[in-house]
Structure 1
Amino acid sequence: MATRGNKTAGTADTDFGPSTQLQEMLFTSMLANPDENRAFNVENIHVLRGPVDAIALGRAVDLVVERHESLRTVFVTGPEGVALRVLPAPTGALVCRDHTGGAPLSPAALEDVVRADTEHLFDLAGERPSRFTLHRTGEEEYVLVVVVHHLVLDGWSMGVLLDDLGAAYAAVRAGERPFGGERPGQLGDFARYQRELTSSPAAVPLLDFWARQLEGLQDGSTVPYDRPARPYQTFAGDRLDFELPAALARSVGEAARAERVTVAAVTLLAYQLLLREYAGQEDIVVGVPTANRVQPWTHDCVGFLTNTHCVRSKLPARTPLRDLLHATARALTDALRHQEVPLIAVYEDLIARYGADNLPPYLFRTLFICHTHRVAPLALEGVACARRPFSQQASKADITLNVWPDGAGIRCQIEYNTDLYDASTMERVAERYRGVLSDIVNDLVW
């Protein structure tokens, strides 16, 4: 069984280590497609109010980038494929910009400033893939923009980064060294671990499972396009945010508890049934990202560890909704149990078993993400920090349905490709999604 390596991807810019298979594929594709590169930026934006110590914050940023090698890792193409190279720890990674010298920034002007940061085109082969910018917008008012490329960071990692940044800020102001001597898991550790796992006997039952799940798969289910698809994937996108009515959100939670399944299972089933309506087929497949933090040493790792797998469900029209719900819950559980083998290895194995001509061009065309792992807002000692909403104008799939359940309700967001869909179509999809969820909970009650 593969285990965590003892050596990281590198501690100086002359050291190299393997990338993951997914990183290698995406990096190679992004070299020829700047739009794809930019679409994979991950942003986190906070409004800060109070006496921000910019010097201490800058030092804290440097300490966090030093601690997590992924934040200073570039990709290098060599004879054995794409490798990771860790750049030296930086000084002055935080860029400070003062906008208080003239007229106050209008909301539109501030949006333009933030968008310019978030749409930065990273040189993944030569530039540190993380940027931290502190904009001073007024007396004790700031906007902190953190942008990291998805090839080195996922959603879980952003939470680790923000926690460490808050801890480092407090330690610097107190004249202490943060983090102690404990070394977190590193991206290079994970890349080696996954490569070793994929080529080991431990991968065989995982690949066998996915081969059984995906045998005979047809082209991925999606909502019919408003315009013909181009012969290549595009990444222009927008987002539609909506919330479930409070009573419906409560009913979803109550139904999940009564059926002893997760809210993720209920909300995914609703999405699958919606796709069944739109696509006119009963064999539905949706891409579902998983955190892929099975090994304990990955829990404090900042990196691109997320894996996406296909959740495939047969949804015959006359099958009771309760039976479909429990089948969806089992499919989600099975995906989690077999999540460690990367999707690209699954696809290569499917080609070897069934032949490329017998596989669809895409295993899935839409994504479903139920965000159950909370990323807490940044906490800076003595400063009020609040997340600032921002809509990235990019989409990585035809449609991605995001669901955030919490004690106050269920918030949803549809990220969609604007080369394929009109905003009005997505508004109808959102309305129908609410209707399907209502049908499910009403059926389960009665």
Structure 2
Amino acid sequence: MSARPLVIPATAQQAARWHALRSARDRSVYHITWRLGCAGRVDFDALAAAWQAVTDRHDSLRARFVAHDGELDMVIHPAVDVTARLIEPDVPDVGQAAQEFLRLAVELHTQEFHLDAGPLARLALVRIGAREELILTVHHITVDGWGTTVLLNDLSTAYASLVRGEKPVFISDAITFHGYAEKLRSEEERGRWRRSLDHWRTALDGAVLTTVAHDREPRRPTAVGDPGRTVRYRFTAQADSGRAALARELGATPFSVMLAAWQIVLARGGERELTVGVITVNRSTRSEQALVGFVSNSCLVRATVDDQASVREVATAARDATWNLLAHQGVPFPVVHAALPEETRSRLTNIKLTLNYLGPIGRDLTLGDIGLTMLQGPNRAARADMAVAYWDGDDGTLAEIEYNTEVYEEETVVRMMRDMDDVLVMAAADVDRPVGGVRVLTRSAPAAR
């Protein structure tokens, strides 16, 4: 007799994603797609077998979601057969290859996942002439960005074994998502979240979300799933050096310095009272760091930035806010949001600006011994007005900004990133300079309810 599926309650984060999808204009808004350029020819048979091995290894890749009586369950199957796709379009004109790669990436990215059927991850190899790209797409309800990195590392390990004619062997046992979900339920039931909930009620009292002033007024309030695009920005070497120097001087993380630079840009753009979103990895243990699943969390950070304040003071406050955020990041944002007073909750329903540090995900990517390069994402829907994700690449810091095309032009997004770049360079040169003397082109505004 075959083993029966394991049925567990979805986490608060997963349930929130599911509810958001029901009203999203574009359901691909919570698809995560990695486009990976390949530096060598991929053995497709080995790739397909590696994909099956990784699916067998991680329970979140064998999951689907079923709703009943207003509740959402995660159904984890003991085994799921998966297939990778090999796509070899006929492109006679080599000059059209780049356009065809992007077209196919968009097509694969936007293809709908059926949450109640699964699987909720897919892999394709696109081959045009001598060029190849891997297109890996997962649904955010089951895997987050960090988890996608773990998944890719395991895929590389399995592929390397298979091309040698060996059975895939992983260096450690997989960490199960259902075990992590059980830990969350236990923490909530035992009252482990009370202190953090008290912190967030106090920290967010009276908060109003901040956004970048729109280039044009939308016909209705911006929302999850509005039309969107991504744009890439490479920080200058001077900005990277400035961020590192300021972090050393203040005993701060490079992330908190980046947050401070963003706050200075937004404050000089018009709004002194700021509330922006930060996406945290939310993996405090080694086992959680090895987990393929949806673990990341959204937190809100407030700041008051006066013209008289020095760069040092703003960066120090951002450093302290980051430590507070990390101390209380373990409570899922939907739980925090539900615990807020109604008046506060109504103002903080849809986070408009988010900042997300992805670490060194762009470095040393491989499939076996084939080098991989992260290419610009094919997103066509926006989760927020602007969502800034940045990471440490081989040649410096890269950012990819997903933005709402109904209210912004690309040049507005690039202008904000250039302002951040300039602030990082200036801050390192004169950390005691008052922020009132900083000139930016970005304009900020309170978010409409």
TM norm. shorter chain > 0.5: yes
CA deviations over 1:211-234 (Å, ceiling 9, x no partner)? 1211121x2011111222414614
Cα RMSD for the two superposed structures: 2.5
1:348-403 CA-partner distances (Å, limit 9, x unpaired): 1113xxx3467514374210122325354542345343333334222211112233
Q: Tell me how far apart the structure 2 counterparts of residues 347 and 382 of structure 1 sit (CA, whole Å).
A: 45
Partners in 2 of 1:142 and 1:425 — Cα distance? Answer: 33
Between stretches 312-321 and 175-184, larger displacement belongs to 175-184
SS in 2 for 1:222: strand
The structure 1 residue matched to 2:297, chosen from 298, 303, 307, is 307
Q: Secondary structure at the match of 1:202?
A: coil
Q: Provide the secondary structure at the position in 2 that maps to 1:400.
A: strand
Which stretch of the first structure deviates more once superposed, 190-199 or 295-304? Answer: 190-199
Q: How does 1:33-432 map to 2 (within 5 A)?
A: 33=24, 35=26, 37-79=27-69, 81-99=71-89, 106-139=97-130, 141-179=131-169, 182-217=172-207, 219-229=208-218, 230-231=220-221, 233=223, 234-278=225-269, 280-351=270-341, 355-356=342-343, 359-362=346-349, 364-374=351-361, 376=363, 378-405=365-392, 408-432=395-419
Q: Give the drift of 1:152.
A: 1.1
Q: Call closer, same or farther: CA 1:281–1:359 in 2, change over 3 Å.
A: same
Q: Which runs of 5+ in 2 are unaligned?
A: 434-449
Which secondary structure does the structure 2 equivalent of 1:236 belong to? strand
Indicate how the Cα distance of structure 1 residues 221 and 68 shifts in structure 2: closer, same or farther if over 3 A, else same: same
Paired residues in the alignment total 429
Moved over 6 A (4+): none
Please state how far the C-alpha of 1:245 moved relative to its aligned partner. Answer: 2.5
Alpha-carbon displacement from aligned partner over 1:302-356 (angstroms, at most 9, x marks no partner): 01100110111122221222122111101001101111111111111113xxx34
Aligned with 2:210: secondary structure? coil
The Cα shift of 1:246 comes to 1.9
Following TM superposition, by how much is the alpha carbon of 1:263 offset from its aligned partner in structure 2, in angstroms? 1.7
The answer (yes or no) to whether the contact 1:87–1:128 under 8 Å persists in 2 is no
Letter of the structure 1 residue corresponding to residue 406 of structure 2:
D
Aligned equivalents of 1:438 and 1:136: distance in 2?
42
Question: Aligned partners of 1:55 and 1:21: how far apart in 2?
Answer: 38
CA contact (8 A) 1:153 1:303 kept: yes
- Aligned residue identity for 2:211: T
Report if aligned partners of 1:44, 1:145 keep a CA contact under 8 Å in 2.
Answer: yes
Counterpart position of 2:438? none
In structure 2, give the amino acid aligned to 1:435: D
Q: 1:128 to 1:34 in 2, by over 3 A?
A: farther
Q: Give the deviation of 1:103 after TM superposition.
A: 6.4
CA gap 1:92/1:241 in 2 versus in 1, 3 angstroms: closer
SS in 2 for 1:284: strand
* Aligned-partner SS, 1:152: coil
Equivalent residues of 1:198, 1:345 under 8 A apart:
no
1:29 Cα deviation after fit: 2.8
Q: Kindly provide the amino acid, as one letter, of the partner of residue 192 in structure 1.
A: E
Name the SS for the 1:419 alignment partner. Answer: coil
Q: Rate the CA distance shift 1:405–1:359 in 2: closer, same or farther, 3 A.
A: same
Q: Residue 289 of structure 1 contacts residue 309 of structure 1 at CA under 8 Å; is this kept in 2? A: yes
CA separation of 1:49 and 1:328: change in aligned 2, threshold 3 A: closer
Report SS of the residue matched to 1:444.
coil
| Cα distance change on mapping 1:51 and 1:436 into 2, 3 Å | closer
Render the CA deviation track for 1:1-39: whole Å, top value 9, x for unaligned.
xxxxxxxxxx9564311111121122123134350x201
Distance 2:386 2:327 in 1: 25
SS of the residue corresponding to residue 388 of structure 2 reads strand
What is the CA-CA distance between 1:131 and the residue it aligns to?
Answer: 0.8
The match for 2:444 is none
1:398 maps to a residue whose letter is D
- Distance in 1 between the 2:240 and 2:172 partners? 42
| Paired-residue identity, % | 25
Q: More displaced, 263-272 or 406-415? A: 406-415
Q: In the TM superposition, what is the alpha-carbon distance from 1:188 to its structure 2 partner?
A: 2.0
Structure 1 residues 328 and 97: CA distance shift in structure 2, 3 A = same
Change (3 A) 1:145 1:361: same
SS at match of 2:373: strand
Distance (Å, rounded) in 2 between the aligned partners of 1:101 and 1:379: 27
Q: TM-score w.r.t. structure 2 length?
A: 0.88
Equivalent position of 1:8 in the other structure = none
Mean Cα deviation higher: 78-87 or 370-379: 370-379
